[in-house]
Amino acid sequence: MTSQLTSHRPDPYVSDGTSPPTDFKPGFIGLRCRACLEPAPTGPVFVCSRCLGPLEATYDLPGLAARIDRATIDARPPTFWRLAELLPIDAIPTRSLAVGFSPLLPAPLLAERIGLDRLWIKDDSRNPTLSFKDRVVAVAAARAVEFGFHTLACASTGNLSASVAAAAAALGLRAVVFVPADLEPAKVAQAQALGASIVRVDGPYDDVNRLCLELTDELDGWAVVNVNLRPYYAEGSKTLAFEIAQQLGWRTPDVVVAPLASGSLYTKLARGFEELAEVGLVERAPIRYLGGQAAGCAPIATAFADGADEWQPVYGPRTAVRSLAIGTPADGVFALRLARASGGAILGVEDEATINAIRLLAETEGILTETAGGVTLAALRRAISEGCVARDDEVALVITGNGLKTLDVINEGRALPEPIAPTFDAFEHWWGEQGEREAAA
């Protein structure tokens, strides 16, 4: 079956107000199988024709080591494409959404509360659609245009739907997003407001993903970013590592903490730091990778706790953390290997601990994160309590999304206060009662 919808593809990019590097020469040299290492042609493919393993991007790292250095990168405009040599593109888009270069913030008050001396927050909730997914979509969208697709699509647990919708709007493409029917209303509304066609699927994310796998083979001209463009899409997560290292003055932290759904972000952070060391931009140093999953859908965390080499599927996730509710994580085995090899951990946390962590982050550092960020901080708190992270470790905590997307979960059980009369006496009475409530708490 072919798509009955066609689309004129105009000049595809909306300017982000900056100029790309003029000295760029691609480092990307092609795709290869992550399992058997068989090369694959550059194109909209995602599985190895030989062994059906996942494909990944490869780079000329020795060549890059000879021609890029810190001074060169530092002199470039502060855009997402600043280290484009380590992204799977042949040319830098001249116009794009203003993705990336989110702040790396010191968090002294939070650090004191949880027992650390040095804690940094990489606040990626400040991207155009308020989540890190804008990074992966930026790379996938660039390739979608090069390959001549007219529709940008995805299977989404929430944040990706808005990222795809926004990128498609900026590129003049159609957006179609497939989401579980019980997805948070705010995330559905965001994608819809950005012009996407919403397909609500009666089932968990894994059912949505299977449908998209089938549709990818049936619809011509459709770029399903996390299916047929996955080898390019996944590489966008590395830019978080690039930015953290540069923002720390070209060095790496002792511990990196991130959430896990498919496991891709977690493993790509490690690959990003490793590639920086390979090309000589940072000195190689040990990094422990700590990850969190919601206990109600924690196939990777469960396998880690059990000492297993492979995860077991989770059917029917039971968690409010919908953005991480993937029961069959594509990169779960690689995440397990990374956690053990680095001396890190992947920990499951209960929803109550997640909500408490969201409130703690907001009350100490003024950052309102969505549920995935709460899982990340809750996993860090658990790791500290269990001795996996020491007080003198320098920790970088990755916050992947904004709390405005999950206010229904964050505020569950919290009623609004009753209104007062517009008089000083009414306020004074209310204020007194407020003090009593705080003292009781």
Question: What CATH number does the domain containing 302 carry?
Answer: 3.40.50.1100
Number of structural domains found in the chain: 1
Instruction: State yes or no: pLDDT of 3 exceeds 80.
Output: no
Segment 189-216, tens digit of pLDDT = 999 999 999 999 999 999 999 999 998 8
Q: Quick check: is 175 in a domain?
A: no
pLDDT at 13 over 90: no
The CA distance from 306 to 402, in Å, is: 32
**Tens digits of residue pLDDT in 215-246:** 888 889 999 999 999 999 999 999 999 999 99
* Residue with more model confidence, 97 or 338: 338
With respect to residue 61, please indicate whether it lies within any of the assigned structural domains.
no
| Rounded Cα–Cα distance for residues 319 and 348 (Å) | 11
Kindly report, residue by residue over 133-190, the tens digit of the pLDDT.
999 999 999 999 999 999 999 999 889 999 999 999 999 999 999 999 988 889 999 9
Residue 14 located in a structural domain: no
In 3D, which of 222, 219, 225, 289 has the Cα closest to residue 252? 289
Q: Which of 61, 73, 62 is nearest to 24 (CA)?
A: 73
User: Would you say residue 204 lies in a domain?
Assistant: no
pLDDT of amino acid 355: 96
Half-sphere exposure of 240 (CA within 13 A, CB side): 34
Residue (of 246, 288, 281, 307) closest to 395 by Cα position: 288
pLDDT at 408: 83
Amino acid 184: pLDDT = 86
Beta bridge partners of 119: 395
Helix locations, 118-251, DSSP H: 133-146, 159-171, 185-193, 205-218, 230-233, 238-247
pLDDT of 7 above 90: no
Residue 366 domain flag: yes
Q: Is residue 109 one of the residues assigned to a domain?
A: yes
Does residue 334 sit within a domain?
A: yes
Looking at residue 19, what is its pLDDT?
58
6 pLDDT above the threshold of 70? no
Is residue 350 in some structural domain?
yes
**Domain extent for 267:** 104-129+235-410
Q: pLDDT grade, residue 21 (50/70/90)?
A: low
Give the rounded percent of residues in the chain with a pLDDT score beyond 90. 82
Instruction: Round the average pLDDT of the chain to a whole number and report it.
Output: 92
